[in-house]
């Protein structure tokens, strides 16, 4: 379980807050979607969770232990992270990219290789074709799959995914969403998934946390949020796509 | 020169060409290697520590702006040493800038998302450096190394000035002797070497690139074999240099890199970088070789007076020919003494006290500076003495050696003594000075009285009617320590005393300068004709 208690983060010494007094729990095995428009503090929240950033106040606990008291390097190796900009290592093959965390953990070359091939299968890339390629020889969707593979490599209990499908076309995004759902079934991970796309949030999230300007507006299952929006902002947020659907639904 | 004689010239010089090329490669290789070992960590520090960035890049940038010869002279003064070590240090300092700067640029160019990913998956700072930042900035760093190495090949030609060998030795000697073939023998291989070094590092860059080879399986296989080979080409080049050096160095008389000759049985003879000095050096060397059991190491062509004197003072050379006037004014900073005998006594006394060195008996000639004009001008404008120049000096252009322009017994003093004010004064290399007056680019030069080219170029020295120039009696100077260890040296070297009058010296200089013969051959011929080479037991 990951739990945030009154977490705040300011980049300018307390004048403005990118994350403002946020508290919620991520339950064991669930997929929690952080939903919010650009700049509302989603990425900042994820980075705080694996200590790429340090919080200004509040505490974050992973498995009941305050992360501020843990070694940040060990912590990061226990938490899989799919980055918003993917950030594959351009000078390494797909196989080497995926096997990076195992390498940091000191696995043997043979074990790393087996694991990399297994993971490529898991994320839907044929190892025979792709293992020896370099990132620039892959499409955007394939790169994103490698990014997911890299995050899963050391079999972490937690997976943080920062708009992983944000830069992809609608069709590819849909495929990858479906695959993520089936992956979730098989792997039983606790996932924090960041998106600005309402439909993606509804499709993937066991629960959804709506963020606005650094504050948590509401957290709950899709039914709770759709039926009982806690704030004006949440109501407006979900009303807009409904209106759009009403306008174009007939034509589609 | 016709094709045949070029070939003869080349084949005769080939062993030495190998040796010098080897030295050149070693100078460049060692200094570039040190610059890599030093520059990359410095670049990393600059990239990591914001307040170090300015001072570091600024500092190595300033090093780059110091003129090469000045750098060599400064190092010589600081280290009190001639030879490969100061040369390597100078080259290393020059090579630092491109390497530090490119390391910094390379590290800063690594894309932020990639760096963030490296941090986010749990790499330690050190792992980030070795696994991500370094490999990604490698192409830029290697490009810096490539620049550094090529620049080094060029600058290394100057290290011959301080006796570090290399291809510059030919260029130096060629300049000293006005011998174009010798200059080309150094310059062309140096240029070719620069191209080869550049090419080998370019190949190494290609070998570094990790890309899947496209195209056929055959092509891929070739790539796989060739890449490691290409990667190691620069190393192979340095090894080849060492090989060229060590396979020929035994045959040569003065390897700059050899073990220091302090076995007590070797006399190291130095010379400045002009013809007369080379001939005097050879005369002394051949006499010692013929008449004693000592070995001679020739460390010839050591820049100007100050470099030669620096080497002598620090024990880099044991014996060389100095001029009383030069020693008095330029080295001891004393005033002019007109009487030749008293000048010799004074410098001998001072050298004994200050430098633990002995002046032996003078060779006989007085190689004073001679303010010289074209013979045609002398006749036409009726010029006989320096005073005759006073009235017209405002219309004349002068070409002086750099040393003459600066020395108190040179132009500064001359101007005061005669009230001369030339329209223009140019600093010229001694070898170019005669060419310049013959080509009518200047009207007045600071010739040497014993220079063979005065006759060859149809020039007329003017009489020093106010007695400004002190006597420049040439004599051997030797370190007392060496003389005490081998007292027989005095007798052997003094066989030359009084035997070289102005006319004789001028003739010997003429043989080399104008007839393009080798100083060694001319010296040998002279010694033989005087029966000085037979060893009486
Ligand atoms: N390193 C940083 N320095 C200063 N401000 C930052 C930094 N990172 C993010 N911010 C600010 O924090 C706010 C939230 O950013 P972010 O968490 O990236 O938003 P999101 O991921 O929801 O689009 C933004 O206003 C952004 O400008
Ligand atoms: Mg973001």
Q: Using a CB-CB distance cutoff of 8 angstroms, which residues of chain B are in contact with residue A50? A: 120
Our answer on whether the CB atom of A11 is closer than 6 Å to any ligand 1 atom is yes
Q: Are residues A70 and A98 in the same domain?
A: no
Q: Which CATH number goes with the domain that contains A193?
A: 3.40.50.300
Which of A156, A191, A206 is the last residue before a domain boundary?
Answer: A156
- Tell me which ligand sits closest to the C-alpha of residue A41: 1
A113 located within any domain: yes
Q: Are residues A3 and A54 in the same domain?
A: yes
Q: What pTM did the predictor assign?
A: 0.78
Residue of B nearest to A101 (CA): B121
Number of independent structural domains in chain A: 2
Q: Which domains does chain B have, with CATH numbers?
A: 26-251 (1.10.3720.10), 266-365+474-529 (3.40.190.10), 369-461 (3.40.190.120)
A99 located within any domain: yes
Residue A181 pLDDT > 50, yes or no?
yes
Residue B362 · residue B324 · CB < 8 Å: yes
A58 located within any domain: yes
Q: Are residues A19 and A138 in the same domain?
A: no
- CB of B135 within 8 Å of a chain A CB? The answer is yes
Q: What is the CA radius of gyration of chain A?
A: 19
Q: Are residues A38 and A74 in the same domain?
A: yes
Q: Using a CB-CB distance cutoff of 8 angstroms, which residues of chain A are in contact with residue B122? A: 73-77, 101, 104
Mean pLDDT across chain A: 92
A232 located within any domain: no
A164 located within any domain: yes
Q: Using a CB-CB distance cutoff of 8 angstroms, which residues of chain A are in contact with residue B135? A: 91
Q: What angle do CA A161, A162, A166 make, to 5 degrees?
A: 115
CB-based contact B114 A87, cutoff 8 Å: yes
- CB of B220 within 8 Å of a chain A CB? The answer is no
Residue B290 · residue B494 · CB < 8 Å: no
A178 located within any domain: yes
Q: Residue A61 sits in which domain range?
A: 1-78+159-220
CB-based contact B116 A50, cutoff 8 Å: no
Residue with CA nearest ligand 1 atom 19: A39
In this prediction, residue B232 carries a pLDDT of 85
Q: Are residues A7 and A43 in the same domain?
A: yes
Tell which of A87, A164, A194 to mutate to test the B interface (max B CBs under 10 Å). A87
* B128 CA → ligand 1 middle, Å: 24
| Pocket probe mutation, ligand 1, options A10, A11, A192, max atoms within 8 Å of Cβ | A11
In this prediction, residue B303 carries a pLDDT of 77
In this prediction, residue B259 carries a pLDDT of 46
In this prediction, residue B253 carries a pLDDT of 43
Residue with CA nearest ligand 1 atom 1: A11
Residue of A nearest to B113 (CA): A87
In this prediction, residue A44 carries a pLDDT of 96
* Placement of tokens 């035994």 in the chain: B250
Q: Are residues A198 and A101 in the same domain?
A: no
- CB of B12 within 8 Å of a chain A CB? The answer is no
Q: Are residues A24 and A148 in the same domain?
A: no
Residue B161 · residue B168 · CB < 8 Å: yes
Our answer on whether the CB atom of A39 is closer than 6 Å to any ligand 1 atom is yes
- CB of A107 within 8 Å of a chain B CB? The answer is no
CB-based contact B122 A74, cutoff 8 Å: yes
Which of A156, A174, A204 is the last residue before a domain boundary?
Answer: A156
Which of A156, A174, A200 is the last residue before a domain boundary?
Answer: A156
In this prediction, residue B396 carries a pLDDT of 93
Q: Are residues A29 and A152 in the same domain?
A: no
* Placement of tokens 């708009």 in the chain: A163
- CB of A11 within 8 Å of a chain B CB? The answer is no
Helix segments in B319-365, DSSP class H: 324-326, 340-355
pLDDT tens, per residue, chain B with 537 residues: 456 677 888 887 888 888 889 889 989 999 999 999 999 999 999 998 889 888 988 988 888 888 888 888 888 778 877 778 889 999 999 999 999 999 999 999 999 999 999 999 999 999 999 999 999 999 999 999 999 999 999 999 988 888 788 999 888 888 777 778 889 999 999 999 999 999 999 988 888 876 665 667 777 778 778 888 888 888 888 888 888 777 765 434 444 554 455 567 899 999 998 889 999 999 999 999 999 999 999 988 887 788 889 889 888 899 999 999 989 988 998 887 888 899 999 999 999 999 999 999 999 999 988 999 999 999 999 999 999 999 999 999 999 988 788 877 789 889 999 999 899 888 888 777 888 898 899 999 999 889 888 888 899 999 999 988 888 999 999 999 999 999 999 999 999 999 999 889 999 999 998 888 899 999 999 999 999 987 654
Residue A89 distance to chain B (closest CA, Å)? 6
Looking at the DSSP bridge assignments, the partners of residue A210 are A35, A218
CB-based contact A88 B117, cutoff 8 Å: yes
- CB of B214 within 8 Å of a chain A CB? The answer is no
Q: Are residues A65 and A176 in the same domain?
A: yes
Residues B458-486 as b/e (b if ≥16 CB within 10 A, e otherwise) read ebbbbebeeebbbbbbbbbbbbeebbeeb
Our answer on whether the CB atom of A29 is closer than 6 Å to any ligand 1 atom is no
| Atom nearest to A44 CA in ligand 1 | 17
Render B172-234 in DSSP notation, one character per residue: HHHHHTT-HHHHHHHHHHHHHHHHHHHHHHHHHHHHH---PPPS-HHHHHHHHHHHHHHHHHH
Residue A210 · residue A22 · CB < 8 Å: no
Q: Are residues A109 and A176 in the same domain?
A: no
CB-based contact B117 A86, cutoff 8 Å: yes
| Pocket probe mutation, ligand 1, options A14, A34, A43, A192, max atoms within 8 Å of Cβ | A43
Q: Are residues A51 and A176 in the same domain?
A: yes
A126 located within any domain: yes
Q: What ipTM score was computed for the predicted complex, to two decimals?
A: 0.92
- Tell me which ligand sits closest to the C-alpha of residue A13: 1
- CB of A73 within 8 Å of a chain B CB? The answer is yes
Q: Would you state the structure tokens that stand for residue A37, as one six-digit string? A: 């428009």
d(CA B61, CA B129): 25
A119 located within any domain: yes
Q: Are residues A105 and A120 in the same domain?
A: yes
- CB of A155 within 8 Å of a chain B CB? The answer is no
Residue B134 distance to chain A (closest CA, Å)? 11
* A213 CA → ligand 1 middle, Å: 10
Residue B310 · residue B82 · CB < 8 Å: yes
In this prediction, residue B2 carries a pLDDT of 54
Residue with CA nearest ligand 1 atom 26: A39
Our answer on whether the CB atom of A125 is closer than 6 Å to any ligand 1 atom is no
Q: What angle do CA B268, B269, B273 make, to 5 degrees?
A: 135
pLDDT digits (tens, 9 = 90+) for A43-58: 999 999 999 999 999 9
Residue A198 pLDDT > 80, yes or no?
yes
pLDDT digits (tens, 9 = 90+) for A212-226: 999 999 999 999 999
- CB of A85 within 8 Å of a chain B CB? The answer is yes
In this prediction, residue B247 carries a pLDDT of 73
In this prediction, residue A105 carries a pLDDT of 93
Within 10 Å of residue A144's Cβ, how many Cβ atoms? Answer: 24
């Amino acid at each position: 379980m990951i739990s945030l208690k009154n977490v705040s983060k300011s980049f300018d010494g307390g004048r403005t807050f990118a994350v403002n007094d946020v508290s919620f729990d991520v339950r064991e095995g669930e997929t929690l979607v952080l939903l919010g428009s650009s700049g509302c503090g989603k990425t900042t929240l994820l980075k705080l969770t694996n200590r790429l950033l340090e919080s200004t106040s509040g505490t974050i606990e992973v498995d009941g232990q305050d992360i501020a008291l843990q070694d940040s390097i060990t912590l990061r190796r226990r938490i899989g992270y799919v980055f918003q900009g993917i950030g594959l290592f351009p000078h390494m093959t797909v196989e080497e990219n995926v096997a990076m965390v195992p390498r940091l953990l000191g696995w043997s070359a043979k074990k790393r290789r087996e694991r990399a091939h297994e993971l490529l299968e898991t994320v839907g890339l044929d190892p025979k074709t792709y293992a020896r390629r370099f990132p620039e020889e892959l499409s955007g969707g394939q790169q994103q799959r490698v990014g997911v593979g890299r995050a899963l490599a050391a079999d972490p209990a937690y997976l943080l995914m920062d708009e992983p499908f944000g830069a992809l076309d609608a069709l590819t995004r849909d495929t990858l969403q479906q695959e993520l759902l089936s992956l979730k079934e098989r792997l039983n991970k606790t996932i924090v998934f960041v998106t600005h796309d309402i439909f993606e949030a509804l499709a993937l999230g066991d629960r959804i946390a709506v963020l606005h300007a650094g504050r948590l507006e509401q957290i709950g299952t899709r039914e709770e949020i759709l039926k009982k929006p806690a704030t004006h902002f949440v109501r407006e947020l979900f009303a807009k796509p409904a209106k759009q659907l009403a306008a174009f639904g007939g034509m589609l | 020169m016709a094709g045949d004689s070029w070939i003869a010239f080349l084949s005769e010089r080939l062993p030495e060409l190998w040796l010098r090329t080897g030295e050149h490669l070693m100078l460049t290789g060692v200094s570039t290697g040190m610059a890599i070992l030093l520059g990359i960590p410095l670049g990393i520090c600059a990239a990591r520590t914001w307040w170090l960035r300015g001072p570091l890049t600024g500092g190595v940038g300033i090093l780059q702006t110091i003129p090469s010869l000045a750098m060599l002279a400064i190092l010589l003064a600081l280290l009190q040493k001639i030879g490969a070590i100061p040369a390597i240090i100078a080259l290393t300092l020059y090579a630092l800038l491109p390497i530090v700067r490119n390391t910094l640029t390379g590290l800063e160019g690594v894309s932020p998302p990639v760096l963030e990913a490296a941090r986010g998956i749990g790499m330690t700072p050190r792992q980030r450096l070795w696994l991500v930042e370094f490999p990604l900035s490698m192409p830029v760093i290697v490009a810096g190394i490539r620049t550094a190495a090529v620049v080094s090949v060029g600058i290394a030609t100057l290290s011959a000035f301080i006796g570090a060998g290399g291809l510059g030795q030919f260029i130096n000697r060629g300049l000293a002797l006005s011998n174009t073939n010798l200059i080309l023998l150094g310059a062309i291989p140096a240029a070719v070497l620069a191209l080869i070094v550049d090419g080998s590092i370019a190949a190494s860059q290609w070998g570094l690139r990790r890309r899947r080879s496209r195209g056929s399986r055959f092509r891929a296989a070739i790539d796989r074999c060739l890449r490691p080979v290409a990667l190691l080409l620069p190393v192979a080049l340095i090894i080849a240099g060492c090989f060229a050096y060590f396979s020929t160095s035994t045959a040569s008389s003065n390897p700059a890199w050899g073990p220091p000759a302090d076995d007590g049985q070797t006399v190291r003879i130095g010379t400045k970088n002009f013809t007369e000095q080379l001939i005097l050096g050879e005369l002394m060397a051949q006499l010692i070789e013929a008449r004693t059991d000592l070995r001679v190491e020739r460390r010839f062509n050591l820049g100007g007076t100050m470099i030669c004197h620096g080497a002598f003072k620090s024990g880099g050379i044991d014996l060389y020919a100095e001029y009383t006037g030069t020693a008095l004014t330029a080295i001891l900073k004393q005033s002019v003494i007109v009487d030749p005998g008293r000048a010799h006594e004074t410098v001998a006394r001072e050298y004994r006290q200050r430098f633990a060195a002995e002046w032996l008996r003078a060779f006989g000639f007085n190689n004073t500076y001679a303010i010289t004009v074209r013979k045609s001008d002398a006749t036409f404008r009726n010029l006989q003495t320096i005073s005759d120049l006073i009235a017209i000096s405002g219309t004349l252009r002068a070409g002086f050696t750099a040393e003459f322009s600066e020395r108190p017994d040179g132009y500064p003093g001359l101007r005061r003594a005669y009230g001369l004010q030339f329209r223009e004064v140019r600093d010229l290399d001694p070898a170019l000075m005669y060419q310049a007056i013959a080509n009518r680019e200047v009207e007045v030069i600071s010739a040497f009285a014993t220079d063979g080219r005065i006759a060859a170029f149809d020039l007329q020295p003017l009489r020093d009617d106010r007695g400004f120039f002190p006597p420049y009696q040439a004599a051997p100077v030797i370190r007392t320590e060496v003389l005490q260890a081998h007292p027989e040296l005095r007798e052997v070297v003094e066989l030359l005393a009084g035997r070289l009058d102005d006319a004789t010296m001028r003739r010997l200089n003429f043989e080399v300068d104008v007839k393009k013969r080798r100083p060694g051959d001319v010296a040998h011929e002279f010694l033989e004709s005087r029966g000085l080479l037979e060893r009486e037991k």
